[in-house]
Amino acid sequence: MRYGSTDVLGGIDLTAQRGEVLCLLGPNGAGKTTTIEVLESFRMRSDGWVSVLGTDPAHGDERWRAGIGIVLQSWRDHGNWKVRELLAHLGSYYRPYSTPRRPRPIEAEDLINRVGLTDQSEQRVRSLSGGQRRRLDVAIGIVGNPELLFLDEPTTGFDPQARRDFHDLMHSLADDDTTIVLTTHDLDEAEKLADRIVILAGGRVVANGSPAQLARQVTRDAEVSWTRGGQPFVHATPEATNFVRELCAQYGEEIADIEVRRATLEDVYLSMVHRHEAGYAGEAAAEFHKREVQP
């Protein structure tokens, strides 16, 4: 994606498999929402090649759109609709586009139960709280029983119980072979949901892999801590299981408070973004120096 002479996306190369939960992470301005909008056909790319459900999004027809669910960061609709009426109405648009893989839209009552809006089913949209409104956004996104679901910061405003319910719903959709592509700033949420994580920085992919694979890129060592005779000890090792086994075999009941800490997604994320920023700063300095020394 290019604005004028500035490339805001210039190194995005990724594939999402059927039934996979793919999470895009990155600082503000990294290109996450722009990437999602290109895939959804909300924004036309400047260059490159894109295929979504076998179709170039720039040329997707109504049947193609019916296979995609979208949950935007925020959007508005008519506040006079009641929750059940709105979902039933929207579901009716998908019936002509049913496929063998997705034989029918999800019934309004089932949707309401799955997103936790049973007590609000007869309320008007304008009377919903922020968290309830966000649950309705998710219900609208999956009403067509989509093959592919895009989620942009989906759990904003959710309380802890609503967040847990949402995670359970996403796992159930993935188990049903729904492909899910989401953006979030919540690293804990990404670690719980994602089969694979793509980290963007400066419009480029700087890391791509499962949480465990990315952690190994940062460090292969785990940190083992324990106490013996009331004295604390810490040791870094690439073979934590073997180390703990040998430790217990040597000291037995003298060992207490054993804890194994591996690199967290937060460690990985910060390391990858900082590496990119350091590299970008180095490239900029080299270019500046090059210009300065030229006659």
- Euclidean distance between CA atoms 15 and 18, whole angstroms: 10
Domain ranges of the chain: 2-209, 214-293
- What are the structure tokens assigned to 96, written together? 């002509």
Please check whether residue 243 is in contact with residue 224, taking contact to mean a CB–CB distance below 8 angstroms.
Answer: yes
Q: What is the pLDDT of residue 222?
A: 83
Low-confidence ranges of the chain (pLDDT < 50): 281-291, 295
pTM, 2 dp: 0.80
Q: What is the pLDDT of residue 184?
A: 87
Which of left, alpha, beta for 54 (phi over 0: left; psi -120 to 50: alpha)?
A: left
Residue showing tokens 């054993």: 258
Long-range contacts of 11-16 (CB under 8 A, 24+ apart): 11/203, 11/204, 11/205, 12/48, 12/200, 12/203, 12/204, 12/205, 13/205, 14/198, 14/205, 14/208, 16/148, 16/179, 16/181, 16/196
Q: Which CATH class is domain 2-209?
A: alpha beta
| E strands, the chain, in order | 2-3, 6-7, 21-25, 68-71, 148-152, 179-183, 196-201, 204-209, 222-228, 231-237, 255-261
Q: What is the pLDDT of residue 285?
A: 44
- What are the structure tokens assigned to 125, written together? 């949209």
CA angle 9, 134, 121 (to 5 degrees): 150
Q: What is the pLDDT of residue 240?
A: 87
Residue type, 92: S
Q: What is the pLDDT of residue 287?
A: 45
